[in-house]
């Protein structure tokens, strides 16, 4: 009897909340791995085998920047990222996309995103993404109306 009620409840939820239907999600544009980052893409100021620190990343409104990590994520299960901005910085327009690949793949795959509006502070926060390959590209998009400057971005690969 309990399992029948659960099944009926699940069907009712699907009918009551059609916004979870597959057609309501946006489509992603496939990013070929041959698409290299622009010449001005940020480079790590400091790095170890499982961490990288990037400094002073500026993203104009409507623009994006790619950060290609040099860490080998083969032995990691998660990547943790922290973002710090100067006082007065507003990350609410920051969209974060985690792209993953392996050497033999033709495209970057995207499985998770985050948004600066989810951060606990207007000028600081963090994201944790699952690892889906050994190569990682972080895409930072400014969907806001003012320039965003990330004073420090820390990437840390959490080992299995």
- What is the CATH number for 52? 2.60.120.510
pLDDT of residue 35: 60
- Overall number of domains in the chain: 1
The domain in which residue 22 lies consists of 2-159
pLDDT of residue 44: 82
Residue 151 in tokens: 């004073």
pTM for this prediction: 0.78
pLDDT tens across the length of the chain (160 residues): 444 444 444 444 444 444 444 456 566 566 777 665 555 678 887 778 899 999 999 999 999 999 999 999 999 999 999 999 999 999 999 999 999 999 999 999 999 999 999 999 999 999 999 999 999 999 999 999 999 999 999 999 998 6
């Amino acid at each position: 009897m309990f399992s029948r009620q659960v099944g009926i409840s699940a069907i009712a939820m699907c009918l009551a909340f059609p916004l979870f239907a597959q057609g309501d999600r946006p489509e992603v544009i496939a990013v070929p791995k041959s698409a290299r980052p622009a010449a001005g893409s940020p480079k790590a100021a400091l790095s170890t085998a499982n961490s990288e620190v990037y400094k002073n990343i500026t993203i104009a409104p409507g623009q994006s920047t790619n950060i290609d990590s040099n860490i080998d994520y083969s032995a990691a299960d998660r990547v943790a990222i922290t973002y710090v901005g100067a006082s007065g910085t507003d990350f609410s327009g920051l969209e974060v996309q985690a792209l993953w690949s392996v050497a033999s793949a033709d495209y970057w795959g995207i499985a998770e995103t985050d948004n600066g509006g989810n951060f606990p502070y207007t000028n600081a926060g963090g994201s944790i993404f699952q690892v889906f390959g050994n190569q990682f590209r972080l895409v930072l998009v400014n969907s806001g109306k003012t320039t965003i400057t990330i004073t420090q971005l820390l990437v840390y690969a959490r080992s299995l």
